[in-house]
Structure 1
């Protein structure tokens, strides 16, 4: 479950931060320490984040971030795009797939995204995913949701 929200980081320090639930909207989204840590502590006021959040009514916060989808303003393409490619590797910490048929394997498949899909996925299978821009230096794309799988 959860909802994808995009907004600017408004304030915070250390490992507790807050962001808007929509551009220019209320700063009612809590970014917990484990999420800040997953970003390697790189979080700045004014930065635009796209996150997966769950409803969480606590104090003035309406949402709690469960995972960061992308950092930085969404590209001109406007958010996630569909990619179809072959799964090249799968490990306990997720896998990698091509960013398009025959393209380099630059799309990361996070383990929780594979688990949420609920069907087995193996190397050689062709996946269609909704992907967001990845982290520079790590992956060009990052799967947010698996849409379908075709056996390789």
Structure 2
């Protein structure tokens, strides 16, 4: 199997997708939706979603929620904010949706994570703690054990 060289249009699309990903990384706490992201790069929402998934393995909204959950995990580990405060600080507008998505990615509800993870990364270099605490994507977190 031989790979074909990328066309100039494909390269332009990849550059636009990188701009979208970078915007999500920067503005995760802002109200972002796929339509607004698509408008920012002059694409339709459907085309953006399909191309983003091909390039990064997940659609833009899922990527955005993963970034928000990563930041929420860091804030919860500090332990000085309530789950509700963290929810709104990372750009979520619904505590229920935030808690559900957090539990899907992390495997435990945010309140349990806050209680169990406080101080876990203390003294750990940030580059290591970021890797160790990265949420699992695509609902791969193990189901919480029942005691």
> Which TM class, normalised by the smaller chain length?
under 0.3
Higher strand share: 1
The structure in which a higher percent of residues are helix is 2
If asked which structure has higher relative contact order (CA below 8 Å, sep 6+), I would say 2
TM-score calculated relative to the size of structure 1 = 0.27
